[in-house]
Amino acid sequence: MNRLEEINFKHNCLRDLLARQKAEGLWLRRTRNLAWFTAGADASIPVDSDFGAYSILVTPDSRVIYTTNIEATRLRSEEQFQDLGFEFVECPWYQGGAPELPRLLTDDNAVETDIQQLRWVLTPGELERYRALGRDAVAALDEAIRAACPGDTEYELAARLDAACRKRGGLAIVNLIGTDERISQFRHPLPTMKRLDRYAMLVVCMRRHGLIVSGTRLAYFGRLPEELQAKVRKVAHIDAAAMVASQPGRTLGDAFSDLLAAYHEQGETEQWKLHHQGGPTAYIARERIAGPGDPTLIREHMPLAWNPSIAGCKSEDTIVTTNRGFEIVTTAPDGWPMLEVEVKGQTVRRPGILEM
């Protein structure tokens, strides 16, 4: 599936949505939906913007980009949207423009839920981009963590992780750094001026072409204490149980029940209450946070990022469900210590703590 075929496929999906809603058009404005519909274009100028620097009107018979003179030249030259079946409505930057249709849907209302259902099942083209993103995200994590030295500030660790993602064409939209006691104190350790002594945790959600993968890696300077070895084995077992539980046809609630059972088996029954456990991902770091009894159906080719943790340790990678189980798209590179965990007769390899 090339880019044009992917866009045509998604246009057909939106035609069905328009027919169900008895609407004349859908105005896409959110950056995540623009990236999804265009097969990877980045519509964000401020990188944290929820709305794009241009928008797209999708009707049953056309797809029209509404943009200003600031963006139009680049979109024609570099995105080559005109060769992908898009028309342009261009206006001066100081005027703006919007489609005028009596029955117009927008993606900032209830229809966003319908679009989300389309976003979190990946097409063959998205799967190819997702696997490449996963490889680059773990390479960025590996590069940043191996460059760490005792005495580095958490800001310096974060800067290396940012740079490693950027040079691979991505953006670290989540960049969490915890060192030493802060790993036990906080589940979301934003980087600070604290200096690394022995123990470091690097967490990234890397975005490229709109798609996002997540991963966490841990490193320890010196001989790894037995207490940490025990914790990483526990959390690896819990993470593996969540992955094995993520089968198409089950619900997120079903998988969550298996995850809670794994916490209990590891003697950490209450730890899940201290942080969310993850859920589906794709064009948002978490398209949905899974919880007990969640009725959301797990579908084939749905990406998920579980992130179980116990105080002082965490395990996180990104998977894509398949009809044969799951595929880890953020597999740790060669040279990283791995733990083999047995869950329901299946061996799952999870990253351990790197001794530096």
How does pLDDT run along the chain (356 residues), one tens digit per residue? 999 999 999 999 999 999 999 999 999 999 999 999 999 999 999 999 999 999 999 999 999 999 999 999 999 999 999 999 999 999 999 987 889 899 999 998 779 999 999 999 999 999 999 999 999 999 999 999 999 999 999 999 999 999 999 999 999 999 999 999 999 999 999 999 999 999 999 999 999 999 999 999 999 999 999 999 999 999 999 999 999 999 999 999 999 999 999 999 999 999 999 999 999 999 999 999 999 999 999 999 999 999 999 999 999 999 999 999 999 999 999 999 999 999 999 999 999 999 99
- What CATH number has the domain spanning 124-355? 3.90.230.10
pLDDT of residue 97: 83
Instruction: Answer yes or no: are the C-beta atoms of 281 and 211 closer than 8 Å.
Output: no
DSSP string, 211-253: EEEEEEEEEESSSPPHHHHHHHHHHHHHHHHHHHH--BTBBHH
Residue 121 vs residues 22, 228, 258, 322: alpha-carbon distances, Å: 24, 37, 23, 11
DSSP string, 24-56: SEEEEEEHHHHHHHTTS----SSTT-SEEEEEE
Q: Give the distance, in angstroms, between the CA of residue 272 and the centroid of all CA atoms in the same chain.
A: 21
Instruction: Answer yes or no: are the C-beta atoms of 124 and 107 closer than 8 Å.
Output: no
* Residue bearing tokens 């959600």: 205
Q: Where are the domains of the chain?
A: 3-119, 124-355
pLDDT of residue 108: 84
Q: End-to-end alpha-carbon separation of the chain, Å?
A: 43
Using CA atoms, how far apart are residues 77 and 247, in angstroms rounded to an integer? Answer: 43
Residues 6 or more apart whose CB falls under 8 angstroms from that of 57 comprise 25, 26, 27, 28, 63, 64, 66, 99, 101
- pTM comes to 0.97
pLDDT of residue 110: 77
Closest to 284 (Cα-Cα) out of 348, 226, 207: 207
Using CA atoms, how far apart are residues 309 and 294, in angstroms rounded to an integer? Answer: 20
Q: Within 13 Å and on the Cβ side, how many CA atoms surround 194?
A: 16
- What CATH number has the domain spanning 3-119? 3.40.350.10
Please give the single-letter amino acid code of residue 208: R
Using CA atoms, how far apart are residues 85 and 2, in angstroms rounded to an integer? Answer: 14
User: Would you state the torsion angle of the CA atoms of residues 207, 287, 235, 173, taken in this order, to the nearest 10 degrees?
Assistant: 30
pLDDT of residue 224: 97
Using CA atoms, how far apart are residues 336 and 316, in angstroms rounded to an integer? Answer: 15
Using CA atoms, how far apart are residues 60 and 78, in angstroms rounded to an integer? Answer: 26
Q: Where are the alpha helices (DSSP H) in 58-123?
A: 69-74, 111-119
Using CA atoms, how far apart are residues 313 and 350, in angstroms rounded to an integer? Answer: 13
The Cα angle at residue 85 between residues 26 and 20, in degrees rounded to 5:
30
Q: List the structure tokens of 199.
A: 């123990």
